[in-house]
Amino acid sequence: MHIFQYRTLFSRPFHRVTLSGLPPELLEYIAKRLASGADAASFRAVCTPWRDAVPFASCFAPLLLLPFLGPDDADRVTLYSVGEDKHFTLPLPPGAARGWVALIFESGSVALLNPFTGARVELPPASEYVAAASSMLVSKDSGGGRWLLHPDDGGVVGYGSAATAGAASAIAADEMRQVFFHNVVLSSPPDAGGGGGRGCVAVAVLAGSTEVASTPSVGWGLGVDTAWTLLETYLDCSVDSVVFCQDRFFAIDCTGEVSMSSAIAAGHGVPTAAPVPSLSPPDQLCHRSYLEWNGELYVVGAMVDVFRSAQRFEYSSVVYKCSNLLDATPPAWSRVNDAGDLTLFVSIHCRHSFAGTSVSSFERNSVYFSEPLYEDHRDPAHRLEIADIATGASEVKPPFHQKVQDFEALGWIRPNLWRGRYVKL
């Protein structure tokens, strides 16, 4: 269709109209004819009216993030589209290290990174104070560049087969998560509140600790000039994951017990936290992941039946949600059998999950697990598991594209145009 035909259709002159001033009906007409998600992403990036013309969920399905294979991958990230059975790579901005979205460097500096645009927001650096919460004794080397891990009371330093007796050892980049931060959760996008992270609070899950680390409250902003504050959750076991919901952070320990923080808002001062006994996992539930959707807290897990005589087991996937988090009555879980247009995306290995409605190329009322819930370790191939929320029945799909099989654990991500709150190291 030629430009004079558009002019006839909409009866508006084009030579005096700016990109942001094009008629909405024209933008919608073009948006419906975009050939790919890449075209839709470019279209949305032009300006606000163009972005509004392209509903995000209809064009941008979640992707699987593929971990780095080695030093040669340090300057790019590989993503895999399940719906299209294709992988593609994006360059990381200069200076980016191992990691995705939340980066921690050997020097201890921490940053949030948008790999699609190169935008970057600094977080407070790691410190002895943070490591001490995980019962780790660390120090900076004499040159101030590398962190050193000191032996424990038994004189052992390091991890696994690399553990040795003797002097302190330098902490490598791929060991920083074991000493400092497991993952980072945000209260809002890093660019909220007019830039500089002033509308955003970051909470970090620490290694083997009942405490979490928090940046200053809303209004102070993010940055290297601020410092992490330790927040005691008063849980009995170490914190496994954190979810932001209803202006509060919910810390979940490895047994599924939940602790809720006070409101995270300007003027509320340093937050506090307290356990919520009524949110203990439902009976017989093997919890796998927690997430937020539309102000409600969800837990995804499985009910397992073990047949010892036959040396086998069966399981069904189940979803619960809590809709009364802030009511006067104690919060309580209720079983979800019909999630409508909702699709849940659960990352098995990285404690990062989210949801979306009417997501392109994905089944509704379903849970998409990045790996099978109960993997056969004799078969290392990567596969999706899709669970029907209504019936609990699961289907393990055929192996992914051969390119994906070279990678280790996979995890779901949302393209940055889908403005999510959660990031992971």
Sheet with 342-346, edge to edge strand ranges: 353-357, 342-346, 366-369, 385-388, 394-396
Distance CA 180, CA 173 (A): 11
State both tokens at 133: 């919460």
Distance CA 104, CA 423 (A): 12
| Residue 404 DSSP class | G
Per-residue pLDDT of the chain (425 residues; tens, 9 = 90+): 333 333 333 444 445 557 777 888 888 888 777 766 666 666 776 777 877 777 655 555 677 766 554 555 555 666 777 777 777 676 554 333 223 367 788 888 888 876 656 667 888 888 888 888 888 888 888 776 788 888 765 444 444 434 444 578 888 877 888 888 888 888 877 765 554 445 678 899 998 899 999 987 544 455 555 788 999 999 999 999 999 999 999 999 999 999 999 988 655 567 899 999 999 999 999 999 999 999 999 999 999 988 777 777 889 999 999 999 999 999 999 999 999 989 998 887 776 788 887 676 788 999 999 888 887 766 777 788 899 999 999 998 877 766 666 666 667 776 644 343 334 33
Rg (CA), the chain: 23
State both tokens at 74: 């340090």
Do residues 344 and 300 touch, judged by C-beta distance below 8 A? yes
Query: Measured between alpha carbons, how far is residue 77 from residues 128, 324, 345 in Å?
Result: 31, 40, 20
Query: Which residues face 200 on adjacent strands?
Result: none
| Other Cβ atoms within 10 Å of 182 Cβ, number | 23
